[in-house]
């Protein structure tokens, strides 16, 4: 058959109705264990699951126990690979489950983990406070640091670089990291093995950025966000080569943080509308940006659809991304008081953390998602008290603009509260 697009395959790929009484949709396989036809089958499945022997030609891993595999997860994993053109995928009960499992699988005491800054608050905590307890050395690089500066830092640390962990765009500043630069760093520090590159693609994936094409080895998702897309499920995923995902699934088996069948089923349903939801959200975000960019109470907006031509950030954007996305970080002329006035007066847009959902959500990173990040670091990355993060949903854009404008009307600017100056990425 013709090479079909992922959106055309999301309703059928990897599922045989004849195995499920002709049902057009995969049933929820709400079962903990699976019956072996013969003892020999059970033995063969376990030999494979525990890697005791090589697979025979055409042999597939049979179903054993839902901590190891389950049809809803297998179908979901197969479908998820299509967007990123990955060989394999593993799904988890949360994005943090995916991220921590990948880090634990590939890092050992003494290794160096290099990561971009800023990173998601949960990841930030795990990397800075948990990994060091297991002897892993951790080093962050800041936006705008050059490859040469980063390589000097890594050399001076004296530790062997094992993994580079990147979030691009950064949350909530929308600062972009150049993945080809990361690949080049990894190659320059290759000894026996090349350091692995893992990218948290939650903000722009799986439609608008495909990190594997730019030299990454692993792509990580909080599937709670765009992939789930309806604010009703927590889940995560990790994608990459068959060899790497096999290692991650091995760790997942022992940590026991795989997604359950119901989560798998919900995500299968969500994937059918993923592309049209994301396209509508991006289109709405562009409308909202145009309507409010010149508003007198708005100082600036970090929006990837409006990067300045000729800047390094725009060059990275053109290479790595195919859309401006649906995340706007609005910097108000003011501080926490003004941000709270704005948030408290929104009528349609919900005041909640999370993103990528059908409904628009707004929150205040400095006091909410990034409250745990060191205050000096927050300012260094531009997470000021005047920054409000908006995830644009699928509503009618006119209603969203009406809501934002009426809430901005309620903001009373007090000049003493101006956002502190910060390292501002090259944003419009
Ligand atoms: C939400 C999020 C996570 C964590 O995912 P959970 O599903 O909440 O565990 C990780 N990275 C990014 C960028 C996120 O937005």
Q: pLDDT (tens digit, 9 = 90+) per residue, 394-403? A: 999 999 999 9
- Using CA atoms, how far residue 153 sits from 108, 261, 299, in Å, is 20, 44, 35
- Please tell me the distance between residue 96's alpha carbon and the centre of ligand 1 in angstroms: 6
% of residues, the chain, pLDDT over 90:
88
pLDDT tens column, 234-269: 999 999 999 999 999 999 999 999 999 999 999 999
Question: Cα-flanking dihedrals φ and ψ of residue 188, to 5°?
Answer: -70, -20
pLDDT grade for 405, boundaries at 50, 70 and 90: very high
pLDDT tens column, 52-82: 888 788 777 789 999 999 999 999 999 999 9
For 363-385, b where at least 16 C-beta lie within 10 A, e where not — what string? bbbbeebbeebeeeebbbbbbbb
- Please tell me the distance between residue 115's alpha carbon and the centre of ligand 1 in angstroms: 16
- The closest-lying atom of ligand 1 relative to the alpha carbon of residue 224 is 7
Residue 414 pLDDT: 66
Write the residue with the smallest CA distance to atom 6 of ligand 1. Answer: 95
Topology of domain 6-31+66-271 in CATH is: 3.40.640
- Please tell me the distance between residue 149's alpha carbon and the centre of ligand 1 in angstroms: 29
Tell me which of 198, 202, 209, 263 to substitute to probe ligand 1's pocket, judged by most ligand atoms within 8 Å of the beta carbon. Answer: 202
- Please tell me the distance between residue 112's alpha carbon and the centre of ligand 1 in angstroms: 23
pTM for the predicted model, two decimal places: 0.94
pLDDT tens column, 157-193: 999 999 999 999 998 889 999 999 999 999 999 999 9
Tell me the three state secondary structure of residue 137.
strand
- The closest-lying atom of ligand 1 relative to the alpha carbon of residue 171 is 13
What CATH number labels 275-417? Answer: 3.90.1150.10
Write the residue with the smallest CA distance to atom 4 of ligand 1. Answer: 95
* Segments of the chain assigned to CATH 3.40.640.10: 6-31+66-271
pLDDT grade for 146, boundaries at 50, 70 and 90: very high
Residue 49 pLDDT: 81
Alpha-carbon gap, residue 8 to 195, rounded angstroms: 36
- Please tell me the distance between residue 51's alpha carbon and the centre of ligand 1 in angstroms: 31
Pocket of ligand 1 (CB under 6 A): 94-96, 120, 122-123, 167, 171, 200, 202-203, 222, 224-225, 234, 236
Residue 50 has pLDDT above 90, yes or no: no
- Please tell me the distance between residue 1's alpha carbon and the centre of ligand 1 in angstroms: 37
- Using CA atoms, how far residue 362 sits from 296, 337, 393, in Å, is 20, 15, 11
- The closest-lying atom of ligand 1 relative to the alpha carbon of residue 123 is 10
* Segments of the chain assigned to CATH 3.90.1150.10: 275-417
Write the residue with the smallest CA distance to atom 5 of ligand 1. Answer: 95
- The closest-lying atom of ligand 1 relative to the alpha carbon of residue 354 is 1
Residue 417 pLDDT: 52
- Please tell me the distance between residue 327's alpha carbon and the centre of ligand 1 in angstroms: 14
Write the residue with the smallest CA distance to atom 1 of ligand 1. Answer: 222
């Amino acid at each position: 058959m013709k090479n079909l697009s992922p959106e055309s395959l999301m309703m059928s790929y990897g599922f045989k109705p004849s195995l499920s009484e002709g049902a057009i949709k995969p049933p929820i396989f709400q079962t903990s264990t699976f019956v072996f036809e013969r003892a020999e089958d059970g033995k063969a499945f376990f030999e494979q699951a525990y890697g005791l022997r090589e697979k025979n030609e055409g042999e597939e891993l049979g179903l054993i126990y839902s901590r190891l595999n389950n049809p809803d997860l297998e179908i979901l994993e197969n479908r998820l690979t299509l967007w990123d053109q990955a060989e394999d995928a593993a799904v988890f009960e949360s994005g943090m489950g995916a991220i921590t499992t990948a880090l634990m699988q590939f890092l050992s005491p003494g290794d160096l983990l290099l990561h971009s800054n800023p990173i998601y608050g949960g990841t930030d905590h795990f990397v800075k406070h948990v990994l060091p307890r297991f002897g892993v050395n951790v080093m962050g690089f800041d936006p705008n640091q050059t490859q040469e500066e980063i390589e000097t830092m890594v050399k001076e640390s004296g530790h062997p670089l094992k993994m580079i962990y990147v979030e691009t765009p950064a949350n909530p500043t929308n600062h972009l990291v150049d993945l080809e630069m990361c690949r080049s760093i990894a190659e320059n520090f290759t000894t026996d093995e090349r350091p692995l590159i893992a990218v948290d693609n939650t903000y722009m994936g799986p439609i608008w950025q495909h990190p594997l094409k730019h030299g990454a080895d692993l792509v990580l998702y909080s599937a709670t966000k765009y992939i789930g897309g309806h604010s009703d499920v927590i889940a995560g995923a990790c994608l990459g080569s068959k060899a790497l995902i096999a290692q991650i699934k091995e760790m997942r088996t022992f940590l026991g943080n795989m997604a359950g069948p119901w989560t798998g089923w919900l995500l299968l349903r969500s994937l059918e509308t993923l592309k049209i939801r994301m396209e509508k959200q991006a289109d709405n975000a562009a409308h909202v940006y145009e309507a409010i960019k010149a508003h007198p109470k708005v100082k600036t907006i970090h929006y990837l659809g409006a990067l300045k031509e000729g800047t390094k950030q725009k060059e990275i954007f053109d290479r790595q991304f195919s859309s401006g996305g649906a995340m706007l970080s609005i910097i108000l002329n003011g501080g926490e008081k003004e941000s709270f006035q704005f948030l408290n007066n929104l009528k349609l847009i919900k005041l909640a953390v999370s993103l990528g959902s059908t409904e628009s959500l707004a929150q205040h990173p400095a006091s909410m998602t990034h409250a745990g990040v060191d205050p000096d670091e927050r300012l260094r990355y531009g997470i000021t008290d005047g920054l409000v993060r908006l995830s644009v949903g699928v509503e009618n854009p006119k209603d969203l603009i009406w809501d934002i404008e009426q809430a901005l009307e309620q903001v009373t600017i007090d000049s003493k509260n101006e956002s502190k100056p910060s390292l501002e990425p090259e944003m419009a």
